[in-house]
Each structure stands twice: as C-alpha cells, then as structure tokens.
C-alpha cells in the first residue's frame, strides 16, 4: 500500500511537471554573421560574411534588423548599412519569429523608400537566424549564425 | 618716403673693401685657419662687391657664387636654395647660414635684408663635420660691422622702380655698433582680380653688436610685411597674369640674440657661442591661385630656439697639428596653426565631386551646404640636436691634411591636433543637414644618428698654386610633413562621414596617415678635387665634384591626394659638376667671373627638377679718379638654366642671362649712383608648380632702375 501510494504521488508530481507550459524564448540583442543572397536578374548573388544585428524593443514585441555592408547588385561600387525597423517579433519556446508586411528601411541617414521592404519573414532558432524579404523588387534572403 | 629718408640719416655704408675669392685671412668660420688653406671650394665676397652688385638679400648671391641658385618667388619664407644640385622647394635648407658666427636655425628667417654686411663667405660642398645639420650643400657665413672695424657712420638712401625705397645706415660708438635698414616696394606684379599689386614689401631690420675683449653680443631683429605668391596660371601653354581672389601675404618678426666669448688658455682657445632665436610669422595664401573660391591657407608659427656651442682649438695657427673639437646642441619648440578653409568651389570640386563619383547616382548624393568648411590643423613640434665633433689639421711641409668626424644626434616630436567641421546631408534620405566634426589628434616622434666624416688634403705646389682633394659627408635634417595634414583630414572626414552614413566604397580612398608623414634625413657624400691660383691681383680657382645623395628628399603628390604635396625620401641622386671663379684687378679695373656646371639626376636618369645646369656670373668694373671725384662703372651678367620643371623633364625653362649695371660718382664723403637690374628686361620664370591639375609659373622680376646716395659722416 505504502509503495503504491508513493508511486501514485510520484506519478502525480511528474504529471504536474509535464503540464507546466514551456516559456517562450526571450528576444535579446544579437549579432550574426552569414550570407545574404540577392536574386539579381533571376540568378542568386551572394554577399558572404555579412553581419546582421537584431535589436528587440524593450517590450520584446517589435525589433529591428540591421544588415551591414550589403550590396544589392554586383556592380554596386559601394556597400551600405540598411536597418529594417518595426518588425513584429513573436516568440515560442523553440524560436523567435520575425515578420513584417511592409516597412520603409533606414539607410544613408534616413528613410530609403526605394528599397521598401515587403514580406519579411524569418526566425531565430537557437544560434541561427534566417529571413527572407523583398528589398523593393529585389528578393533577398539571409542565413547566419550567432557570432 | 619721408620716414625712410629720416631713417636713412641715422646710419651705415661700406668701409674698407675686402676683396673676394680667396682672402688669406681668418673668417668667422669654425675652421680657424685662413680660407686659402682650406681644402674646400670657397667664395669670399667683400663689402665692395656686395655693395656694387646691390646685394642685400641672400637670393642676390645667386650665380655670384658658383652653383648657387636661390630663385626669387613666393615670399620671404620661401628661401628655396639650390647648391651643387642639392636642394628642394620645401622644408629644411641645404645650406647652413651663420651671421657673425651665430647659426640661423629657421629657414623662414633666412631671407632678410642685410645691414652692414662686411663680408660673405660661402663654403661649397658638404660641411657636415664642423657645421652639422643642413650644411649638406655648403655654409654661408656673413660678417656684419663690428665696433672694432672703426668705420665711419654712414647712411644710404635708394629710390627705384615700383616706388622701391631702401634706407640703411650704421654707426659705431665705443664698444657698440648699430645698423638698420628699411625697405619698401609697391610691388611688381598686379593681381588682375583685385587690380592691386600683389607683392608689396615693407621691412625693417635692426642690429646691435657689442664687443669687448673676448666677449661679444649680437642682437638682431627684422620685421616685415609683404604680399607675394605672384603666380600666374598657364593656359594652353601661355603664362597668364596673376589672378587670384583671396588674400595672400606674409608677415614675420624674427629676433636673434647671440652671445660669443673666447677664453684663452696656454695652448688652446675655447670659444663659446649661445643664441636665443624667436620667430613669429603669419602667412595667408590663396592655395588654388585662381579667381575662384576654392581654398585658402593661413599658417601662423611661433617658435623659439636655443643653441649652444663650445669649441676648443689650438691657438698657434701655424702649428703642425691644429685640432678643433666641439660640442653643439639646440632645442627648438614650434607652435604652428595652419587652418585650411575650403570655399564653395573647393567644397564642390575637391570634396563632393570626389566623394560622389563613387556613389551611384540612383542611390543619392552627398551635399555639404556650408559656404566654408574649415580644417583646423595645429602642431606643437619640439626638435633637438646634440653633436660632438673633432677635426685635426696637419701641416706637413707643402701638405695640409685634414681629418674630422662628427657624431650628430637629432630627434623631434610633433603633437598634432586637427579638426574638420562641416554640415552634411545625403540626398534624398536625409531631410536636413547634420553637423559633423572629425578630430584627428596624436603624436609622432623620430630620432636618428648621423656620422659625418671628412678627409681632405691640400698641396702647395708653389706659393701661388695649390691643389686640394676632399671627401666629406653632410646631411639635411628629416622632419614631418605638416602640409599634408589638411589632405589627411579631408580623407579622414570623408571616411568618417561615409561610415556615419553607412556607405562603404569597394575601393577605399587612399591616404597617408600621420604615422607616415615623417621623412628621413637626406645624406650626401662629396668627392671633390680642385686647384687654386693666386698671383698679385689675380686669383682663380676651379673644382670638380661628384656628390652621391641617399634618401633624396623630394616633393611629391601622394597617391589619392587632391591638393597636398609632401616631402618624401625618393631614393638616390647624383650631382656631377665643375665650378670655377676668378678675380682680376689690373689697375682701375675689376674683373670677376664665376661659372658652374651641374648635372644633377635621379639615379643617373632624369635631371632633378628646379636645378640649373649652368650658373654664370661676370662682372667688369672700372673707376676713374678725377681729382677728388671718382666715377665708377660696373656691368654684370648673371645667368642660370636650363631647368627642368618636373620629374619627367618634359617641361623646361631655357638658360637666360640678366644684365645689371651701376654707375657711381663719389666725391669726398658722398656717392651718388644709378643701378639697373635686369636692364634688358629678360623674361624669366623662377618657379613652376601644379595645383589641382592647373599649371602655374612665377615670373622673374622685370627691369628695375634705382638711384641711390650714400653719405659717410
């Protein structure tokens, strides 16, 4: 009887523990390094070793992504830093989801509507980040790892 | 004019004529033996020839001294000196300057109006062993009037072309000698932009010398305010008149206080020399020399230096062994401010166009709405030197053998504090201009040692004929290129601004940085043989030399720089040359001539720019005594060239001759004279350079006529 009760108590404890809901990942500012792929004239154009900074807002509901020294077409004689603000951030216990339907990015000291960002979707899972978006009409994606 | 006349009534003139080439007398030189026994090429100009050629500035010695060329352009701070193919437009000189045994440290103080100069001695060829830094091409030693000269007080007044007034005078009283000179000129070149003459000059020089026994004290000061930089653009190969829109000029105050003493010991005499040297100057320059608002430079300097030298040598002049041993040191502190102001056109063409050409137009463009963009540059530079030297002269029968060695240590440290200030806007992303500052601060330091040996031999074949051979080394000090800092700041500003924008060029702009603005000393080895002949009133000498230069200091335009130039050690060069001079004074005649040929080339290839291949000077004078009246007539020719203006030798200036003459009538204590310079009006150019891709030439001075009066009280 005693053994039965003890087992029942242990099983109840285990059940109680299993029922506690998992906590969502708390967004934190992070720097990643990876590859930007731009679809240029229907062909992928890779920018390697590109750094990306993810910076959540104080409440963790929005965030920004800054892509450093990106080049949209191979012929560009310069690279630029682009910041995508006002990204919706949601978290699950497994990952952070990034999403933004439309926003004007910040570059070269202000808003840069020519490369308005649409359809941004992405996630941070563990030490990896990936997202895709359109810079104006230029489909772009990024995959990187935590530095 | 009236003031100048009254000043003239105060003072000096020409005492006893001590004539030239190889005077067998002791000079203010450190050697301590008669110049006739020096195994070096030497030119000695006495007061007479200095007066009759109207020489009262170092530049007027050009060609009179074989191989010496000091072009007359810019302003008094320019003092570009070429001697035996050595020299450059900027930074340290290749010729040491001593006035009454006091070294003049700052090249900016080299060009001053002489007062009461009684003699000029120029040792040609490297004199590093006794004179150290910057005596690589030679040493010029000026001797001014001393109280012990017993000269009568004298005054001089001249008036000439361009309303040029020169007044000078001297007098001695007891142990004191005072001299002064004043000069004014309206200028010779008109700036067509302003309609005004651009090179007026006003200068006052004062000197007080006190001597008592083995002690002497010399205090000199010169104050000048002048225009300058009479550079005209060359358009389609045709030199145009001066035409620039911004202020240009130069003001300078130079004060040198020197003290000398001699202590007689049983075998040796010990000489001590100390000086305090102050210089304050202010230069304004339209740096583009065009009528457009591009950029200006204002450079102010305040420097102070102390020098000290102790030198011991054997008293007995005719001893077999005549050693000279000494220690020299100096410390100089220089505070320089050199703000460059970019104006509207300069901002657009030198900065924005350079930046925007790299930014695709569909991305946007950079704008700087400021009317002026200042780049402030401040430098505090300390430099110091300490040297030990020894030279032994052995007289062995007909031979005089010399061996010497100097160990020279020099160091310098420069704090730089620069700041660029502007507002910028990137269009279309930025809605308004943003203030932006770029500071650039730091320190650079360098030190080096130089070993400067010398060996020479002089053989007295007869009492009249001597042969000599010399191997010697000299060096020109290294330093820091402060001129390039405004370019460095342009680069730093653009780089910081682009980074602030988040824009990065695939091919980053190229620039020097403070750490490599240093340039090293230039060294020269001189191999020379010569002969010297003197009989009665005839003297002549000739020399052949071969100078190997290492770490040649050359002015270059660094890669990626739009406006700046800097001194760099460009490699090796070689000077091969021949020099000769003669003086013959039969009866009432005076005939004097000097000639030099110099082939100075980079690594045996292209000729070094700005160095004349030939220098020529010839003077013929005659004086007619008519009772108590003496009529004198002197005519001279002076020539230099051809020159190459650039490293490629594609631009050349031909050899040109300039004719000068003087007619004087003296009676008792008065002499009235008329002097003409460049009488034929030979068109020459004294300087060529490029700025912002434009070519510029400085024209030589036109014909000048001067009438003068001297009075000995």
- Residue B8: pLDDT band (50, 70, 90) is very low
Look at phi and psi of residue A109 and say left if phi exceeds 0, alpha if psi is from -120 to 50, else beta.
left
* Two tokens, residue B495: 């780089």
Question: Are B429 and A109 within 8 A, CB to CB?
Answer: yes
Q: Which residues pair with B695 in a beta bridge?
A: B234, B690
Measured between beta carbons, the chain A residues lying within 8 angstroms of B501 are: 108-109
> What confidence tens digit (pLDDT) does each residue in B270-291 have?
999 999 999 999 999 999 999 9
For residue B453, what pLDDT is reported? Answer: 97
Instruction: Please state the rounded mean pLDDT for residues B694-701.
Output: 92
Mean pLDDT, range B362-386, rounded to an integer: 94
Give residue B363's pLDDT.
Answer: 81
Contacts of A79 in chain B (CB under 8 A): 503-504, 506
Closest CA to B479 of B229, B112, B106: B106
pLDDT in tens, B657-688: 999 999 999 999 999 999 999 999 999 999 99
For chain A positions 72-91, those within 8 Å of chain B (CB to CB) are 76-82
Residues of chain B positioned with their CB less than 8 A from the CB of A68? 502
Measured between beta carbons, which residues in chain A are less than 8 angstroms from residue B361? Answer: none
Question: Of A68, A69, A109, which is closest to B501 when you measure between CB atoms?
Answer: A109
pLDDT band at B36 (very low <50, low <70, confident <90, very high): confident
Assess whether pLDDT exceeds 60 at residue B608: yes
Contact B434 A109 (CB under 8 A): yes
When comparing pLDDT for B506 and B458, which is higher?
B458
Q: What is the pLDDT of residue B4?
A: 39
- What is the structure's pLDDT at A7? 56
* Nearest chain A Cα distance for residue B494, angstroms: 14
Predicted local distance difference test score (pLDDT) of residue B653: 93
Q: Which of B55, B142, B111, B92 is nearest to B226 (CA)?
A: B111
Contact A109 B506 (CB under 8 A): no
What pLDDT does B566 receive?
79
| CB-CB neighbors (< 8 A) of A69 in chain B | 504
Answer yes or no: do A110 and B434 touch at CB < 8 A.
no
pLDDT digits 0-9 by tens, B126-183 = 999 999 999 999 999 999 999 988 888 999 999 999 999 999 999 999 999 999 999 9
Q: Do B429 and A79 touch (CB under 8 A)?
A: no
Confidence label for B603 from pLDDT (cuts 50, 70 and 90): confident
Q: Which of A34, A109, A39 is nearest to A67 (CA)?
A: A34
pLDDT for position B281: 96
Residue A10 pLDDT = 57
Across B642-668, average pLDDT: 93
Q: Can you tell me the mean pLDDT for B110-115?
A: 89
Residue B213 in this model has a pLDDT that exceeds 50 = yes
What's residue B149's pLDDT? 86
- Looking at residue B530, its pLDDT comes to 96
**SS3 of residue B345 by DSSP:** helix
Angle CA B21–B22–B26, to nearest 5: 125
**Closest residue of chain B to A75, computed from CA coordinates:** B360
The answer to whether the Cβ–Cβ distance between B501 and A108 falls below 8 Å is: yes
Q: Measured between CA atoms, how close is B565 to chain A, in angstroms?
A: 28
- ipTM of the complex as predicted: 0.82
The span from the CA of B702 to the CA of B188, in Å, is: 7
Each residue of B484-521: pLDDT tens digit? Answer: 888 888 888 888 988 999 988 887 776 778 887 889 99
Query: Which residues on B lie below 8 Å from A81 (Cβ)?
Result: 502-503
- Give the distance from residue A126's alpha carbon to the nearest chain B alpha carbon, in angstroms: 29
As a whole number, mean pLDDT of residues B107-112 equals 90
Asked if residue B27 has pLDDT above 50, the reply is: no
Residues of A in Cβ contact (< 8 Å) with B500? 109
Please provide the DSSP assignment of B347-405 as one string: IIIIIIHHHHTTS-TTT-EEE---S-EEEEEEEEEEEEEEEEEEEEEEEETTEEEEEEE
Residue B224 to residues A47, B75, B164: CA-CA distances in angstroms?
A: 63, 11, 15
- Looking at residue B17, its pLDDT comes to 32
For B344, B345, B456, B521, the CA distances from B294, given in Å and listed in that order, are 6, 5, 54, 34
Give the separation between CA B568 and CA B513, rounded to whole angstroms.
Answer: 14
Check B504 against A77: CB less than 8 A apart. no
Task: Give A-chain residues touching B359 at CB under 8 angstroms.
Answer: 77-78
Q: Over chain B, what is the mean pLDDT?
A: 90
pLDDT of residue A120: 96
Between B607 and B361, where is the model more confident? B607
**Residue B154's pLDDT is what?**
94
Chains A–B, number of C-beta pairs less than 8 Å apart: 54
pLDDT digits (tens, 9 = 90+) for B462-492: 999 999 999 999 999 999 988 888 888 888 8
Tokens of B214: 């083995």
B221 CB-contact burial (10 Å; exposed 0-12 / middle 13-18 / buried 19+): middle
- The CA-atom distances, in angstroms, between B286 and each of A116, B71, B74, B111, B293 are 47, 21, 12, 22, 9
Mark yes or no for CB contact A78/B501 under 8 Å: no
CA-based radius of gyration for chain A: 21
Spatial distance between the Cα atoms of B326 and B307, rounded to a whole number of angstroms: 13
Q: Which of B271-280, B292-301, B565-574, B613-622 is predicted least confidently?
A: B565-574
The answer to whether A79 contacts B506, with C-beta atoms less than 8 Å apart, is yes
- A108:B506 CB<8 A: no
Q: Assign B191 a pLDDT band (cuts: 50, 70, 90).
A: very high
Residue B289, Ramachandran bin (φ over 0: left; ψ between -120 and 50: alpha; else beta): left
Encoded tokens for B16? 């006893």
Burial class (CB in 10 A: 0-12, 13-18, 19+), B49: buried
Chain A interface test: which of B367, B429, B497 (most A C-beta within 10 Å): B429
pLDDT at residue A11, rounded to an integer? 56
Q: For residues B396 and B382, what is the distance between their CA atoms, to the nearest angstrom?
A: 45
* A120 contact B CB<8A: no
Task: Please tell me the predicted confidence (pLDDT) of residue A23.
Answer: 86
pLDDT tens sequence across A53-63 = 999 999 989 99
Q: Which of B360, B430, B431 sits opposite A76 (nearest CB)?
A: B360
Q: How far apart are CA B271 and CA B636, in angstroms?
A: 40
| Residues of chain B with a CB closer than 8 angstroms to some CB in chain A | 358-360, 362-364, 425-426, 428-431, 434, 500-507
**Nearest CB to A107; choose among B358, B502, B505:** B502
Structure tokens at A132: 């895709």
For the cut 60, the answer to whether the pLDDT of residue B41 exceeds it is yes
- Those residues whose C-beta lies under 8 Å from the C-beta of residue B605, and which sit 6 or more positions away, are none
- Token pair belonging to B335: 């505070």
Nearest CB among B359, B430, B505 relative to A109 is that of: B430
Spell out, as residue ranges, where chain A has pLDDT lower than 50: 1
Look at A104-113, B214-223, B313-322 and tell me which has the smallest mean pLDDT.
B313-322
| Whole-prediction pTM | 0.87
Percent pLDDT > 90 in chain B is 74
Q: What percent of chain B has pLDDT over 70?
A: 95
Task: Give the model's pLDDT for residue A18.
Answer: 52
A107: contact with B, CB 8 A cutoff: yes
Which residues in chain B have their CB less than 8 angstroms from residue A82's CB?
502
pLDDT of B23 reads 37
């Amino acid at each position: 009887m005693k053994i039965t009760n003890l087992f029942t108590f242990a099983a109840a404890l285990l059940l109680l523990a299993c029922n506690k809901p998992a906590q969502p990942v708390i967004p934190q500012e992070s720097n990643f390094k990876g590859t930007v792929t731009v679809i240029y004239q229907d062909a992928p154009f890779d920018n390697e070793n590109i750094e990306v900074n993810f910076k959540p807002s104080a409440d963790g509901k929005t965030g920004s992504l800054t892509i450093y020294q990106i080049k949209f077409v191979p012929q560009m004689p310069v690279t630029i830093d682009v910041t995508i603000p006002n990204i919706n951030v949601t978290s699950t216990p497994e990952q952070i989801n990034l999403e933004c339907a439309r926003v004007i990015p910040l570059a070269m000291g202000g808003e840069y509507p020519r490369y308005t960002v649409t359809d941004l979707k992405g996630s941070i899972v563990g030490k990896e980040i990936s997202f895709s978006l359109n810079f104006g009409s230029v489909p772009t994606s990024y995959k990187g790892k935590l530095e | 004019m009236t003031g100048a006349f009254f000043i003239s009534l105060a003072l000096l003139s020409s005492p006893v004529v001590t004539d030239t080439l190889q005077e067998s007398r002791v000079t203010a030189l450190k050697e301590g033996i008669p110049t006739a026994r020096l195994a070096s090429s030497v030119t000695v100009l006495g007061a007479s020839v200095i007066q009759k050629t109207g020489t009262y500035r170092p530049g007027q010695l050009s060609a009179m001294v074989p191989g010496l060329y000091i072009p007359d352009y810019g302003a008094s701070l320019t003092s570009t000196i070429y001697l035996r193919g050595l020299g450059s437009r900027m930074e340290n000189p290749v010729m040491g300057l001593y006035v009454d045994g006091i070294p003049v440290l700052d090249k900016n103080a080299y060009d001053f109006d002489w007062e009461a100069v009684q003699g000029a001695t120029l040792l040609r060829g490297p004199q590093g062993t006794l004179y150290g830094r910057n005596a690589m091409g030679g040493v010029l030693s000026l001797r001014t009037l001393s109280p012990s000269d017993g000269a009568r007080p004298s005054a001089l007044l001249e008036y000439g072309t361009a309303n040029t007034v020169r007044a000078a005078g001297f007098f001695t009283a007891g142990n004191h000698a005072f001299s002064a000179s004043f000069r004014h000129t309206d200028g010779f070149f008109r700036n067509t932009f302003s309609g005004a003459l651009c090179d007026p000059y006003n200068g006052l020089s004062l000197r007080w010398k006190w001597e008592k026994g083995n002690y002497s004290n010399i205090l000199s000061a010169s104050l000048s305010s002048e225009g300058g930089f009479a550079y005209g653009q060359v358009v389609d190969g045709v030199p145009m008149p001066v035409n620039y829109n911004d202020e240009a000029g130069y003001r300078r105050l130079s004060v040198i206080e020197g003290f000398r003493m001699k202590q007689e010991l049983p075998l040796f005499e010990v000489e001590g020399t100390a000086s305090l040297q102050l210089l304050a100057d202010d230069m304004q320059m339209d740096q583009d020399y065009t009528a457009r608002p591009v950029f200006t430079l204002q450079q102010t300097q305040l420097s102070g230096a102390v020098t000290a030298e102790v030198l011991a040598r054997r008293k007995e002049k005719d001893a077999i062994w005549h050693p000279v041993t000494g220690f020299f040191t100096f410390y100089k502190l220089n505070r320089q401010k050199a703000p460059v102001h970019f104006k509207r056109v300069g901002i657009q063409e030198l900065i924005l166009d350079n930046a925007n050409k790299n930014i695709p137009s569909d991305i946007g463009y950079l704008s700087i709405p400021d009317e002026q963009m200042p780049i402030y540059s401040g430098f505090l530079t300390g430099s110091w030197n300490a040297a030990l030297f020894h030279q032994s002269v052995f007289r062995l029968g007909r031979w005089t053998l010399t061996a010497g060695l100097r160990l020279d240590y020099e160091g310098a440290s420069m704090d730089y504090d620069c700041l660029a200030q502007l507002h910028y806007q990137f269009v279309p992303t930025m809605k308004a201009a943003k203030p932006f500052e770029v500071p650039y601060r730091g320190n650079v330091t360098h030190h080096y040692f130089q070993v400067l040996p010398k060996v020479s031999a002089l053989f007295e074949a007869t009492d009249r004929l001597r042969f000599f051979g010399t191997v010697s080394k000299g060096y020109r000090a290294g330093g820091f290129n402060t001129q390039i800092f405004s370019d460095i700041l342009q680069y730093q500003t653009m780089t910081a601004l682009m980074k602030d924008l988040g824009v990065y060029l695939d091919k980053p702009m190229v620039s020097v940085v403070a750490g490599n603005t240093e340039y090293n000393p230039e060294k020269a080895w001189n191999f020379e043989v010569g002969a010297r002949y003197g009989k009665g009133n005839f003297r002549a000498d000739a020399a052949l030399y071969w100078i190997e230069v290492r770490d040649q200091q050359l002015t270059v335009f660094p890669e990626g720089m739009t406006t700046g130039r800097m001194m760099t050690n460009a490699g090796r060069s070689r000077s091969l040359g021949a020099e000769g001079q003669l003086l013959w004074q039969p009866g009432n005649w005076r005939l004097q001539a000097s000639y030099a040929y110099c082939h100075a080339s980079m690594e045996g290839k292209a000729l070094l720019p700005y160095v004349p291949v030939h220098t020529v000077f010839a003077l013929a004078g005659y004086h007619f005594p008519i009772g108590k009246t003496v009529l004198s007539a002197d005519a001279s020719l002076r020539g230099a060239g051809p020159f190459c203006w650039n490293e490629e030798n594609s631009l050349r200036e031909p050899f040109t001759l300039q004719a000068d003459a003087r007619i004087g009538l003296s009676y008792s204590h008065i002499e009235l004279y008329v002097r003409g310079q460049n009488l034929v009006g030979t068109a020459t150019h004294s300087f060529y350079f490029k700025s912002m891709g434009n070519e510029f030439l400085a024209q030589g001075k036109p014909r000048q006529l001067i009438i003068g009066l001297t009075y000995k009280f």
